[in-house]
Structure 1
Amino acid sequence: MESRTSTSYSLGLLKEPSRTTLFRQEPCGVTYRIPALIYINDGETFLAFAEKRRTWRDCEAEILVMRRGVHQNGSIQWSPAQELKTAFLPRHRTMNPCPIYERKSKTLYLFFICVLGTTTEQYQIYTGRNKTRLCYVTSKDNGQSWSKTTDLTKSVFGKEFGNFATFAVGPGHGIQMKSGRLIIPAYAYYIHVRCFPFHFPLIVRPHALAFYSDDCGSTWQMGEQVDTSSCECEMAEVIDQDSRSHLYCNARSTQGHRVEALSESSGAAFDKSHFAQKLVEPCRGCQGSVLSFVPSLRAQGEGKNCVTSNANTWLLYSHPTNKRSRKALGVYMNKSPLSASSWCQPWIIHHGPSGYSDLTQFGETESFACLMECGESSELEEIAFVEFSLSDILKSVMT
C-alpha cells in the first residue's frame, strides 16, 4: 500500500489527513482523472474508479480503471489497478464513472458514458450532433467481475435524444433513497433554440438532472432539468424533522458559486434552485461531491458554530475552496440543508492543487473517505484516498 504522511498545513490546529496514492500520472503521459468512490457495506469493500487517458485531455480518455480496498489488520489493503474491459462500446471511449449499489438485489451498477472516437464535448455543443451513449455494467460480487455493457440511450431518451447536444452522468456516486428509488446524477446540454431551416443550434445551455429507477434498476427514466444553468452534479437525500424526504442537488456553475436545488418528487423535477453564496467556484467551475448522513446524538450537541439543524440528516461537500484556481480542496458541513447558505467554513484536506473528488461514508460509524485529484504542482499528478471522521470536521468548525 502506497501512502504519504500529511504535511504540516492546517486549518487552525487541524492538520491535513494522510493520503494514499491510488493512481499516479505516468512518465509517458498516461493520466488518471475523474475519481468515483463507493463503499459496499455488505462486503466491507471500497471501490475506487477513474478514467485512464493517453494524455490529460478529455478526448484522449480510453477506459475505466478500478482498485478494490479491504480493511485488514487496521489498514486498507488495495488491489492492483484493474481495467474494466467490459465497460465499453466499440469505437467509443469510456468516461465519467458513476457507481451505485442496489440494496435489495445486492447489485452494483456502474454507470458511465461512451463517446464516439475523439469527438469533443465542444464539438457536440457547437454542432448539436450528440455522439454520446448512456451505459452501465453490473457486478454481483463487489466488483470482482462485471457484466457486459447495457446501452440505455434509446430507452431513456427516446425521441428527446435529438434535443440534447450532449450529456453525461455524475461524475461521482449515485444514491439509493429510503424509498428504494435509484438516483443517477447527470447533466445535459439542452438545445433551447435552433436556426431554421438548417437546424443549427443557436442557444445551448447545460442543466443538471437525474436518471432514476423504481424497480431495482430494471428500467430507467429521465427527470426534468434544473431550470438554472448547471453542469456536473451530485445528489443526496435529506430527511426533514417530520421524516419527509427531499432530494438535494449540488451542481457545477460558471457563475462563481455552486447551484443548489431541491426536489420534492425524488428527482422527477427540481425547484427552488439558487446560487450558494458560501460555496465558491473557480472561473470555469469544477466538479464537487455531496453526501448526506445521520449524525449521532453526540455529534448533534457539538459544532455550535454552525446554525441550528432543520433536518435529521446533515450534508458534507468537497470541492476546491479557492475562487481563482483549482487548489485547496476543502470539506464543508451543513447541519441545516433545507436552508440556503447554511454551510460551515471548510476544513482544508489538501492545500495544494486539487480538482475533482468523491465522498463516501463507510461502516456504521461517522467515518468518511474522499477520493481526490491532487498534487504538488498540478492536480493531474495523482488520485489519492483519504479517511477522516465527523469529529475531525467538528474540530475544524470549532477552531
Structure 2
Amino acid sequence: MRRGTLKNAKIQEIEWVSGHQLLSSACLPNHRSMNPCPVYERESKTLFLFFVCVPTRVSEYEQIRTNKSQGRLCYVTSKDAGQTWSQTVDLTADVIGEQMKEWAPFAVGPGHGVQMKSGRLIIPAYAYRYTGKPDCTSCCCLSFCCFKPFALAFYSDDQGITWKMGNQMNVESCECQMAEIINEEGKSSLYCNARTRLGYRTEALSYNYGEDFGKFLSPNKLIETGNGCQGSVLSFLEQSSPPKTWLLYSHPSSPKNRVDLGLYLNKTPLDSSGWPNEPLLILHQGPSAYSDLVEYEPGRFACLMECGTEHENEEIAFVRFELPE
C-alpha cells in the first residue's frame, strides 16, 4: 500500500510517502490475498481492510470446475491511519460456516465498504453458485455456464467485533459496491451496484440495512462493458437545505471496451432513470478499468483507478476532482 497526506488545502496538494509499504500481516500461509475492501469505523477510529485469501495456484476456474470454494474471508485493522496493522483475522468458519459448501468462488468488493448512519459496517461481496440442472452431466457443468454470481453483504453492528452474513440476491450480480441513500424523511436504504455479463448493471435496494436486497431498479440504464468490469459507487450529501443524497458512479464508458473511465451523477438515486446517458466527466481518456471513489472533503472527490496508454492495467493512478457547476 501507499499512504498520502493532504498538505495544502488551498491547492489540494497531496504528499505521498515514497515507496510502498508491504502489508506482511495481511495474508495466510501458502495463500494469496485478493480483492481489498477497506471500511473506516468512526467511533473507534479503526480502519478495517477486508480481503479474501485463496490457496496459491488455485484459480477461480478451478473452484468452479470442482464446485468448491477455497477462499477465506479475512481482515486486518489499523488504528494509526495505516502505519501499522494487526495480524490477520479469519472469519470464514464463524461467519460463512456451512454455506461454504453451497459456493464456488467468492470475494469481497473490490473497493470500499460503508458505515451507515446507524453505525452498521457493510462489506459488499459476491459468491458463485451452481445454477444448472441437478442431474446435468454435460461438459458445460465444468464451465461458467452453469454457475452465476450473486451479491450479498457482510455486516457488523458492534464496531466490527462480530460479523454476520446477509442473504444473496436472486439476480446475477458479481463484483459490487454499496452506498447508503437517505431520503427526505431521513430513512436509510442500502444501494448496491453490481457487475454482470448481461450488458447492463444490476442495481438493487435493501430496506433492512443489507440483510436482504428485495427491490431491483429498472430500467436497466447503466450499460456494462463487454463481459463486465468492476465499477465504483459513492453517495454524498449535496450542499442544499435540507441536504439531499446524490450518487456518483465510475466505470468505463464504452459498451465494448475498457476505455474512457466515466463519472456519472444521479440526483434521484432511488430512481434508476435518474442516471444520464452520457458521463458527467471522463476521469481518464483511454484504456481504464477498475476504480474506487471517495469524498475526502465536502464537495471534493478523488478516484483511484487502473489505467494506461496502451492497456488498462499499466498503472494505478489517483485523480482529484470537483463536480461541474
Aligned pairs for 1:1-399 within 5 A: 66-73=1-8, 74=11, 75-79=13-17, 80-192=19-131, 195=134, 203-274=146-217, 277-297=220-240, 312-344=244-276, 345-346=278-279, 347-363=281-297, 365-390=298-323, 392=324, 394=325
For 1:389 and 1:252, the matched residues in 2 are separated by 26
Percent of aligned pairs sharing the same letter:
55
Per-residue displacement from partner, 1:122-152 (whole Å, max 9, x unpaired)? Answer: 1111211211000000001000000000000
2:246–2:266: 8 Å Cα contact kept in structure 1?
Answer: yes
Aligned partner of residue 218 in structure 1, secondary structure = coil
- SS state at 2:95 partner: helix
Counterpart contact for 2:217–2:271, Cα < 8 Å: no
CA distance in 1, matches of 2:97, 2:107: 16
Q: Secondary structure at the match of 1:123?
A: helix
Q: For the structure 1 residues 174 and 288, does the alpha-carbon distance in structure 2 shift closer, same or farther, using more than 3 Å as the test?
A: same
* Aligned residue pairs, count: 314
**CA distance in structure 2 between the partners assigned to 1:210 and 1:368 by the alignment:** 25
The residue matched to 2:274 in structure 1 has which SS? coil
Contact kept, 8 Å, 1:207 with 1:225, in 2: the verdict is yes
Which structure 1 residue ranges, 5 or more long, are not aligned?
1-65, 301-310, 395-399
d(CA) in 2 for partners of 1:340 and 1:370? 23
Q: CA deviation at 1:289?
A: 0.2
Tell me: higher relative CO, structure 1 or 2? Use CA pairs within 8 A at least 6 residues apart: 1
The letter of the residue matching 1:350 is H
What per-residue deviation string (whole Å, max 9, x for no partner) do you get for residues 73-120 of structure 1? 441011121111100000000110100000111110000000011111
Give the Cα–Cα distance (whole angstroms) in 2 for the partners of residues 116 and 99 of structure 1. 22
**Deviation digits for residues 30-69 of structure 1, max 9, x if unmatched?**
xxxxxxxxxxxxxxxxxxxxxxxxxxxxxxxxxxxx1111
How far did 1:255 drift? 0.7
Amino acid at match of 2:83: Q
Residue of structure 2 equivalent to 1:26: none
Matched residues in 2 for 1:312 and 1:184: separation?
A: 24
TM-score, normalisation: structure 1: 0.76
Does the Cα contact within 8 Å between 1:291 and 1:317 map onto a contact in 2? Answer: yes
Taking a change above 3 Å as real, the CA distance of residues 230 and 89 of structure 1, as seen in their structure-2 partners, is same
For residues 70 and 180 of structure 1, the distance between their equivalents in structure 2, rounded to whole angstroms, comes to: 26
CA RMSD between the two structures: 1.9
CA distance in 2, matches of 1:362, 1:277: 30
Partner in structure 2 of residue 22 of structure 1: none
Instruction: Describe the SS at the equivalent of 2:127.
Output: strand
Task: Give, in angstroms, the shift of residue 203 of structure 1.
Answer: 3.6
Instruction: Name the CA shift for 1:274/1:338 in 2 (closer, same or farther; >3 Å).
Output: closer
Which letter maps to 2:253?
A: T
CA contact (8 A) 2:221 2:272 kept: no
How far is 1:277 from its partner?
Answer: 3.1
CA deviation after TM superposition for structure 1 residue 272, in Å: 1.7
Work out the CA distance in 2 between the residues paired with 1:339 and 1:103: 29
In the aligned structure 2, how far is the partner of 1:285 from the partner of 1:387? 25
Matched residue SS, 1:82: coil
- Equivalent residue of 1:341, what SS? helix
For the residue of structure 1 that corresponds to 2:247, the secondary structure is strand
**1:201-231: CA deviation from partner (whole Å, max 9, x where unpaired):** 8942100110000111011111111111110
Q: CA deviation at 1:191?
A: 2.7
Q: Which has the higher strand share?
A: 1
Contact 1:255/1:283 (8 A) holds in 2: no
* Secondary structure class of the residue paired with 1:292: strand
